[in-house]
Amino acid sequence: MGSGAVRARYLVYFQYLGTDFNGVAAVRGAQRAVGVQNYLEEAAAKLKSVVPVKFVISSRTDAGVHALSNAAHLDVQRHSGQPPFPPEVLTEALNSHLRHPDIR
């Protein structure tokens, strides 16, 4: 961790309609297929964490499969002097930055 930076770990629950996705896991590279995790991490990038935010997802789904509830943890490291996000602020921020309407 950097000088005085505070890291907080969060447990998040999310749901999605899987029709448009190649499963929940992130798809890396120049492929057209996209996983739910790609959108979650893109939204989390807007939190301006000191280090990139990665979602550690508890279970996987295949392409086209929906999930009523899934869980993941993520670490957000804020700059020195900034307190951790309250859980409700993190939830609101992630939801507002998600670019796909089928993930919440």
Residues with a known catalytic role: 62
C-alpha neighbours within 13 Å on the C-beta side of residue 4? 5
- Which strand (E) or helix (H) includes residue 69? strand 67-78
Please say whether the beta carbons of 102 and 34 come within 8 A. no
Amino acid residing at 28 = R
